[in-house]
Structure 1
Amino acid sequence: MICAISGTTPQDPVISPNSGSVFDRKLIEGYIAEHGTDPISGDALSVDSLISIKTSITPAPRTPAQASIPALLQSFQNEWDALVLETLTLRQELLKTRQDLSTALYYHDAAVRVVAKLTKERDDAVAELQTLTQREL
């Protein structure tokens, strides 16, 4: 059993009824809390619908191939690639958020200017009205 998110053996394995994929409970609960969907199928998923899998308590030992230098280097490379992809995603989200913020600031500034202009026009109209009423008296 391999977790579909991390690619490692899950400590507390669960199955998603939507995709039939195996996940580590902590990882999938975090993903569901953030996105509310199954990471494989994209369908709506809740923590209550996850199905626990009973496994033996004894962890499987690492094979010599997994403990070799090339395997460790490959593992480090995979982790690095995952970090780079995550960083790219975060930078793209940051750029989009900055653009959204810039647009919102522009609209807010325009609204403040309109309100200031209308307030000035109102004050001028009130002053003009007072001047006219004083002349008539």
Structure 2
Amino acid sequence: MEEAGLDDVRNGIPLNLWRIPEDEIGGVVFGLPMGSYQQGGYSHHGARVVVEALERCGMREEADRVLEQLCETIGDDSSFGGLGSGKDWRMADGTPSGYEGQLVEGFSVLAAALQRWRAHPVPTLEAERG
């Protein structure tokens, strides 16, 4: 993420850090602009695993930064737009870039926030298994 210059994830985590050449993707999104959700769009979808991966790798500072930025746009209600709004995926500058509906997985980042910042951690499957 650092090498790609990704330091602001308030609009979400990009599906891919660099545009995939269209001749390598078989025309699935042929002709779509860079901001389309399959070609560089940002979303909260899947962000929980990024936060948890950073934490598991000992990158707590980075995990906190990513989580704080994602929660900022959840808190100000700018991260999700609902069915047909195109706001669930955005370009780096925040311009809506598509998707046909609401991805509920985008809210799963709140579970990571609860786990990290609650006074009493939320039990995980690993902890329950002992």
TM-score (norm 2): 0.23
**Greater C-alpha radius of gyration:** 1
Larger relative helix fraction: 1
Q: Which has the higher contact order (CA 8 A, sep 6+)?
A: 2
TM-score normalised by the chain length of structure 1: 0.22
